[in-house]
A and B are shown apart, each in its own frame.
Chain A
Amino acid sequence: DIQMTQSPSSLSASVGDRVTITCRASQDINNYVAWFQQKPGKAPKSLIYAASSLQSGVPSKFSGSGSGTDFTLTISSLQPEDFATYFCQQYKSYPLTFGGGTKVEIK
């Protein structure tokens, strides 16, 4: 199985900050990575697919990059509605696997 190691597990940031979250795959997965945002009590929402493609309707402050084993999600200017937990997912092969999540909290 492909392991996805996500870091940090949590971070504190201020409104307006630039935030970067990282996922590392245990083997080469090309660009088969998606990123999700989850707010408490809500279903995860897709933000990015194919490592860097923005899901329709998602604001451009979210961006993704990477290929092979190392991937990043960046929020260019954190807003109050962005405080949530973020997950990466690899879909190169079954079983699909997720990173452990990054909880973004208000500083």
Chain B
Amino acid sequence: QVQLVESGGGVVQPGRSLRLSCAASGFTFSSYGMHWVRQAPGKGLEWVAAVSYDGSNKYYVDSVKGRFTISRDNSKNTLHLQMNSLRAEDTAVYHCTKEDYDGSGSYTGHWGQGTPVSVSS
């Protein structure tokens, strides 16, 4: 079955960087788009970024454009999120998600448990 295991979260000072990783298994990783979605403490879900199956297309929410970079290594079945210039408002649990295709569109069908990121001085 699909397994998505995130790592790399932690406590970091404002302005510093962090790199999240997601190890994927149970499906053909190189055939699916992947996303990061975050959830701030006590808040709802916010989509952060997506990358196409081959890494050629990337999409970001406006609040992270220019600071975060999504990437993937299909040879290692791994998704990454490089987060630079971190801000307090980036504090959240970050979930790795796998796209599922409904015949005409793609949604975030499978989710990992998430890795917590806390940005604090």
Q: Does B13 contact A (CB under 8 A)?
A: no
Which of B19-27, B73-81, B82-90, B102-110 lies at the binding interface?
A: B102-110
Q: How far is the CA of A53 from the CA of B104 in the complex (A)?
A: 13
* Total of A-B residue pairs, C-beta within 8 Å: 63
List which B105-121 residues lie within 8 A (CB) of chain A.
Answer: 105-114
B45's closest neighbor in chain A, by CB?
A98
Q: How far is the CA of A53 from the CA of B100 in the complex (A)?
A: 13
Interface SS majority for chain B:
strand
For the complex, count residues of B whose C-beta is within 8 A of A: 25
Q: How far is the CA of A87 from the CA of B47 in the complex (A)?
A: 13
Interface SS majority for chain A:
loop
Interface size class of chain A, counting residues whose CB lies under 8 Å from the partner chain: 20 to 34
| Residues of B in contact with A (beta carbons under 8 Å apart) | 35, 44-47, 50, 59-62, 95, 100, 102-114
